[in-house]
A = this chain, B = another copy of it.
């Protein structure tokens, strides 16, 4: 569940969001978008949690791979549906991961 990412530098896209109450096509589209993202060149993994607030972080090899995914046709449609139906508010932050460290028992 913690994404296995390579040695930095790499990129992270933090998508923090608050949902509306509209469920129409949401779950299936979210699942399809994660499947499509995983097929994109440069995709490294993702982490996603919701409990009222939703946070989904996707990890990418380069800025180019992030821009390609942002412009992918099905993803553009999902982004539009997101603004029209599924999200009350969201913020997307594009970041360069400079260093990381971890721990596992």
Interface residues of A (CB under 8 A from B): 1-3, 5, 8, 12, 14, 16-18, 20, 47-55, 57, 63, 83, 87-105
Among A88, A91, A93, A104: residue with most chain B CB under 10 A: A93
* 8 Å CB contact of A53 from B49, B91, B103: B49
* 8 Å CB contact of A105 from B16, B88, B105: B88
A50 to B55, CA, bound (A): 10
Chain B residue numbers with a CB within 8 Å of A101 are 91-92
Chain B residue numbers with a CB within 8 Å of A48 are 53
Known pairs A14-B14, A54-B49; A2 contacts B91 (CB<8 A): yes
